Each structure stands twice: as C-alpha cells, then as structure tokens.
Structure 1
Amino acid sequence: MSAHIANGRIVVLITIFIGMMFQIMPLPAIVEAWRPDWLLMVMIYWAMALPHRYSVLTAWVIGVLLDVLLGATLGVRSLAFSIVIYLIVIQSQRLRNFTRWQQSILVALFVCLYHFIIYWVEFVINGVQFNWSMFLPAISSIFMWWWFFWVLRNIRRRYKVR
C-alpha cells in the first residue's frame, strides 16, 4: 500500500470521526430535534465520491459504532446506514451529476428513509410511537448539504483522496 492511499484513508477516517463527534455532541433541547445527521451525510458524501472504497461494509461498521455510542438497540442504525448507503452506491454515478439542489433534496429523502427504517425496526422490537419530529433532521440536512459538500470536496481535493 502506498503512502498516498494510506493518507487518503486517514483523511476519510478523520472526517468520519468528526462526523461521529458532531452526531453525539449534546445540544440544547430546542435545537436537538433539528440536528442534521452529520455522520450519515459524511457517509453519503464518501459513498458518492468513492463508491468502490466506502460502501455497505463501512456503513455497517459505522452504524454499529453509532449504536454503541448512543446506547441504542444494537444493529438498528447499522441496518439503516447499510440500506441507505447501498442505494447511494448503486446510483453514485448518476447522483454525482446532479446539481447541488437536486443532491440536497435527495439527501433529505435519504435522511427520511434512514429515520423511517430506524422507526420501523424500533416499532417492531420495542413498540415505539410514531413522531413527526423524527423527520426534522431531513429539513436541516437540505440546507447543510451545500456547505457540507463544499467542505468535504475541498478536503478531498487538497489531500488528493482517491
């Protein structure tokens, strides 16, 4: 393995770690419901940019880590991450050619799908009640995707991640 590839992996792991920190960072109650899914957006970006390297297995491992960090039912987020990232990977070439507005709408739909899968599995296992506020992160993700895409693309270009 060349040093260039190793450096690229380290950069991606650092962005995933930062996304995980933003995901579990405590926020005030009024803002908590609107928190974008930082970690999911990081994985969406890397699955779109490098689908041959960061795909379903990476998403599954990160989902298990997030379940452990949140103290949630083990495997729920890994299932949701895996399904969403699978859909991203199989359509990565098409998604890369969309405009940022179209991508942000699709990111919002993927965030809704992610939360719906989590709700569905939790409903089957624990009998949780439906709450519309679980879709609020999709709205904030629409607006954060522009900035998020720009930052991660500049990181990828600066450190030549391939």
Structure 2
Amino acid sequence: MIDYQSGYILRPVNQVFIYFSLFCALMLNLLPIDNYSWVPDWLIICIVFWNIHQHRHVSVILAFGLGLLMDVHNSELLGLHGFSYSLVAYLAISWHRRILPLGLLTQALHLLPLFLMVSLFPVLTHWILSGEMYWSALSAALQALIEALLWPLATVILLAPQRRPIHVDHNRPI
C-alpha cells in the first residue's frame, strides 16, 4: 500500500496491531467518563480508519459486534450502535478508493458526514420512538466535529508502524 501523503510504500499491516488498536479504542470508550459531547467516540474513529486503510481485516460484522458492546455499555437500545457502526463501516469500505488519495484535512471533511451519522443516529432514533426531542442531545454534532478534527492525528498514529524509514539502506533487499 502506498502512503499518498509522503509517497512511500508502507510495510504490510500486522493484524495483531489492528485488533490491539481496536481493543484500546474500545477501552477508551469504556472509561467512566460521563456522556459529554466533547468526548469523541474513539472506537468509530478506529473502525473507520481500518475500514478505509485495511478493509479486508476489519469487517462490517466486527463493527456490528463492537456496536453491540457499546449498546450494552451505554444501556441503549440493543442494536442502535450496532446498526450505525456497521452502516458507517460499510460506507467507509465503499468510499475507501475515493478518500485515500486525498490530503488528511480533506479526508477529515469527507468523513465528517459519517461521524455525524454515528453521533446523531441515537438522538434521532430516540426522537422517533419516544416522540420527545432533547435539544441538548443535538450537541452530539460537536462530538462528530471533534472526531473529524482528530482524524489527521489518528492517521499519523495508526500508520506509524507501517511507515518505512526515510533513509534507505542499500544492503536491505526492499
């Protein structure tokens, strides 16, 4: 795989690192921080990243399972996060060829609707089912904006193990 920003060929991805990063993102989501709108959903950032960069290793089914874990943790309707995570994973897989050649900030702008979809889907579902709209819950759009702003940092951190060194060693075959 080629890193379009630097032009270097990336090393093959280690599957253990993929699942370790997903586990770390899940643990960050499970921290006992109240449901503030400024706390990003670390798991969806990681799911979208791996579905764009390595969609063969992270599937829609895995995203659905992680979403069910988040539903149980948040005491939400069962399947609410599961559906939104799997839908966003599917869209990330289908958009991966369009998003990869773009710059990091442009990628973040293209992914903002996906992050908005994940953060506003529970609010809209509760509105449809209960008939009551909690306008304070619409501050979830701030969460999506913070997730989009964290996208360049997440890209740099999660691609770091795959980057080849800048200085070429002529004794190394590749």
- TM tier relative to shorter chain: 0.7 to 0.9
Higher percent of residues as helix: 1
Q: Distance in 1 between matches of 2:141 and 2:133?
A: 14
Amino acid at match of 1:59: A
SS class of match (1:91): helix
The answer to whether the 8 A contact 2:119-2:143 is kept is: no
The one of 49, 55, 59 aligned to 1:55: 59
Superposed CA offset, 1:43-78 (max 9, x none): 001000111221311111110111112221110000
Larger Rg: 2
**Does residue 148 of structure 2 align to residue 142 of structure 1?**
yes
Q: 1:68 to 1:49 in 2, by over 3 A?
A: same
**Which of 21, 28, 32 is equivalent to 1:26?**
32
CA 1:8 to 1:98, structure 2 compared with 1: closer, same or farther past 3 Å?
A: same
Distance (whole Å) between structure 1 residues aligned to residue 41 and residue 64 of structure 2 = 16
CA-atom RMSD in angstroms: 2.2
Identity of aligned residues (%): 21
Is residue 40–residue 144 contact of structure 2 (8 Å, CA) maintained in 1? yes
| Alpha-carbon shift at residue 122 of structure 1 (Å) | 2.4
What stretches of structure 2 of length at least 5 have no aligned partner?
Answer: 1-11, 165-174
> How many aligned positions are there?
151
Runs ≥4 in structure 1, deviation > 4 angstroms? none
Length-normalised TM-score, structure 1? 0.82
1-structure distance, mates of 2:71, 2:29: 11
Does residue 116 in structure 1 map to residue 114 in structure 2? no
1:63-82 → structure 2 map (5 Å cutoff): 63-82=67-86
Match of 1:102 among 98, 101, 106: 106
Unaligned runs of 5+ in 1: none
* Conserved? CA contact 1:67–1:73, under 8 Å: yes
> Which residue in the other structure is 1:9 paired with?
15
CA contact (8 A) 1:119 1:128 kept: no
8 Å contact from structure 1 (residues 107, 141) kept in 2: no
Q: 1:118 to 1:96 in 2, by over 3 A?
A: same
Change (3 A) 1:102 1:119: same
